[in-house]
Each structure stands twice: as structure tokens, then as C-alpha cells.
Amino acid sequence: MSRIGKKPVQVPAGVTASVDGQKVTAKGPKGELFFVANDEVSVALENNAVVVQPLSQSKDARSKWGMSRTMIENILKGVKDGYERKLEINGVGYRASLQGKNLQLALGFSHDVVYQTPEGITIAVPKPTEIIVSGINKQQVGQVAAEIREYRGPEPYKGKGVKYAEERIVRKEGKKK
């Protein structure tokens, strides 16, 4: 039994949810998202909460049960509050700036890296060494943050590079004479 799947997902105030077969649609102050559940689970709207149940007790159906419930919870939270991911830049001369909608990164290469912001994502640069990626789709926010981090990930000797704000870099000891 899925402990996560058993819990119904409460629809927050200010958000309207509708279930049409396997498609769950959520509309809120930040926008509109939908999720299409797998055919091995049933989705229903009961008492202002979305309830997900497996149609059989097969391992495949039970594994998709918890995942479907979590995806529905993510879209409901996304249209109400949204998601954000903070990145930090460490290193001499490493900095970020916005050029219109595009993010320009100086990361020690011979040229600046220009990252084009996808639709539905907002990038803010409050300081030259801090980047905030925000949007309503949790998967897309995480993907954009990972793509920015990928340009120059943190290295273990001096900690230079782009890292998540909550990430802890395990440092290595350098060479000894």
C-alpha cells in the first residue's frame, strides 16, 4: 500500500480543480496546469479533495498510484504559490546578468554563455552572484535550474562554479609538497 497515495489531495483556497476522466486541471492565481493520470489509477474529486486509487493491486498500478497523487499535489501548489529555485555563483570574475529575457553568464570561458529563458519561467538576478528561477511547473523550474548549473558545476577543490543555494559541496584537500 502506498502511504502517499492513500492521502487525498486537498484543493487549496483560491484554486479550482476539475477531473475529466484521467485529466486533472487546476486553475489558480498564478495560471493553469493539467496532469493526465495513467490508466492504471482512478482519479475522483470528492469533498473538495482529489482522491487517487489504483484499479488493481499489481506492482505497476501501485507504483503509479503514489506518483499520480504527488503530481496532482504539485500542480495544485504550483498554480497557487508557484515554485522557485535559487542558484549561487562562486568564483573570481564569475557573474550573471539579465539581457532582456535572456540570462548572460560569465563563467571563466573565453565567451559569455547566453541562456534563453523558456516560456513559463521567470529568471531574476538580485545580485551578480545569485540567480532565482521561478515558475508554476515544478519539473520545468528544476530542469531550467539544472541546465544553468550544468554550464559550470561546482568543483571540489575551491568550490568555484554554479551551485544550488541549499547544496553543500564536499571539499577535497589539495596537493601537498
pLDDT digits (tens, 9 = 90+) for 94-117: 999 999 999 999 999 999 999 999
Whole-number pLDDT of residue 3: 81
**Which residues on neighbouring strands pair with residue 102, listed in sequence order?**
99
Where is 73: in which H helix or E strand? helix 59-80
| Residue 57 Cα distances to 5, 65, 78, angstroms | 13, 10, 30
For cell 515558475, the residue is 135
Count CB atoms within 10 A of the CB of residue 30. Answer: 18
Tell me 177's DSSP state.
Answer: -
Asked whether the beta carbons of 129 and 94 are under 8 A apart, the reply is yes
Confidence tier at 176 by pLDDT (50, 70, 90): confident
Higher-pLDDT residue of 8, 5: 8
Domain ranges of the chain: 3-80, 83-164
Whole-number pLDDT of residue 174: 86
Task: Look at phi and psi of residue 108 and say left if phi exceeds 0, alpha if psi is from -120 to 50, else beta.
Answer: left
Residue 80: helix, strand or coil by DSSP?
Answer: helix
Top CATH class, 83-164: alpha beta
* C-alpha grid cell, residue 39: 490508466
Among the listed residues 90, 134, 86, 126, the one whose alpha carbon sits nearest the alpha carbon of residue 108: 90
> Rounded mean pLDDT of 43-58?
90
Whole-number pLDDT of residue 25: 93
pLDDT digits (tens, 9 = 90+) for 112-164: 999 999 999 999 999 999 999 999 999 999 999 999 999 999 999 998 999 99
Q: Is the pLDDT of residue 177 over 90?
A: no
Whole-number pLDDT of residue 93: 92
| Rounded-to-integer distance, Cα 93 and Cα 82, Å | 32
Whole-number pLDDT of residue 1: 61
> Rounded mean pLDDT of 35-48?
90
Kindly report the CATH number that applies to the domain delimited by 3-80: 3.90.930.12
pTM for this one? 0.88
